[in-house]
């Protein structure tokens, strides 16, 4: 199956090498399948370090801002291309049923695309089997951008810099695309704590404020699909309504 692995990255060259790229290389992913979309301020450094060692990697100068970067990725590839989008700090995928690392990444990706047809698929953001669903579920569910796959739909345009993955999932749903959550696979990552990425431009407090604003925007725009939940730390999260299939 022909698919492309896309890694947006900003100011995380070392984590990218020792985490996400190491993870992909351990699974023998062809280097030519990998596209690293780099923030303009970091592009020259990434090329200088990565190209001599990994000449077949595709390093693309991207745009500033999360939504701009994701929209640029959407414009860069062709309609119908199969895209696997991964954050630049992913250490592993875990088979939560067996409490062990996922054995065959390529097989998992191909199976996921076969199951979701022309839509979008994702994995659990959890690493604890006791809180995960441990099975495959279809319908409107959270598909986090940390590790997900989708068949590219150029009509999808994002308008948010945080929780844009929730927005994308909703837009795929409204375009009558299949949504698949592979709840038995979890992600090992450090989304909020690792330096670089969004933390380069926002400290934790500003990021929390931005997420709360974006959560409110989505809830106001799609009240028939989502509702808000506020955590003890003040962070607003979104949940899809259970009667949505």
CA 158/CA 148 separation, integer angstroms: 16
What residues contact residue 176 under an 8 Å CB cut-off, 6+ apart?
A: none
Which two structure tokens, joined as six digits, stand for 239? Answer: 């949940």
Looking at residues 20-36, what average pLDDT do you find?
97
Confidence band of 236 (pLDDT split at 50, 70, 90): confident
- For the entire predicted model, the pTM comes to 0.91
For 36-90, write each residue's pLDDT tens digit: 999 999 999 999 999 999 999 999 999 998 899 999 999 999 999 999 999 999 9
Place of tokens 């997900």: 148
Phi–psi pair at 201, nearest 5 degrees? -105, -25
pLDDT band, residue 179 (cuts 50/70/90): very high
Q: What is the tens place of the pLDDT at every residue in 151-178?
A: 999 999 999 988 999 999 999 999 999 9
To the nearest 10°, report the CA torsion of 155, 156, 157, 158.
Answer: 170
* Domains located in the chain, CATH noted: 4-240 (3.90.550.10)
pLDDT tens readout for residues 103-134: 999 999 999 999 999 999 999 988 888 888 89
What are the DSSP E strand ranges found in 98-230? 100-101, 120-124, 136-138, 147-151, 179-188, 226-230
Q: In whole angstroms, give the CA distance from residue 178 to residue 176.
A: 7
H or E stretch at 59? strand 58-61
């Amino acid at each position: 199956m022909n698919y492309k692995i896309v890694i947006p990255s900003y100011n995380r060259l070392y984590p990218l090498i020792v985490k996400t790229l190491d993870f992909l290389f351990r699974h023998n992913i062809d280097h030519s399948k990998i596209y690293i979309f780099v923030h303009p301020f970091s592009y020259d450094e990434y090329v200088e370090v990565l190209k001599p060692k990994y000449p077949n990697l595709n390093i693309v100068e991207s745009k500033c801002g999360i939504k701009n970067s994701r929209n640029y990725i959407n414009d860069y590839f062709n309609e119908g291309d199969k895209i696997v989008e991964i954050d630049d700090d992913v250490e592993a995928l875990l088979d939560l049923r067996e409490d062990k690392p996922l054995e065959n990444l390529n097989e998992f990706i191909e199976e996921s695309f076969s199951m979701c047809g022309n839509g979008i698929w994702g994995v659990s953001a959890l690493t604890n089997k006791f809180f995960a669903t441990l099975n495959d579920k279809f319908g409107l569910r959270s598909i986090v951008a940390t590790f997900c796959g989708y068949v590219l739909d150029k009509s999808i345009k994002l308008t948010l810099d945080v929780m844009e993955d929730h927005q994308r999932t909703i837009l795929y749903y409204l375009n009558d695309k299949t949504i698949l959550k592979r709840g038995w696979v979890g992600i090992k990552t450090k989304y909020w704590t690792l330096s670089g990425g969004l933390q380069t431009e926002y400290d934790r407090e500003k990021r929390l404020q931005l997420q709360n604003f974006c959560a409110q925007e989505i809830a106001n725009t799609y009240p028939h699909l989502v509702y808000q939940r506020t955590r003890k730390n003040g962070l607003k999260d979104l949940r899809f309504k259970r009667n949505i299939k």
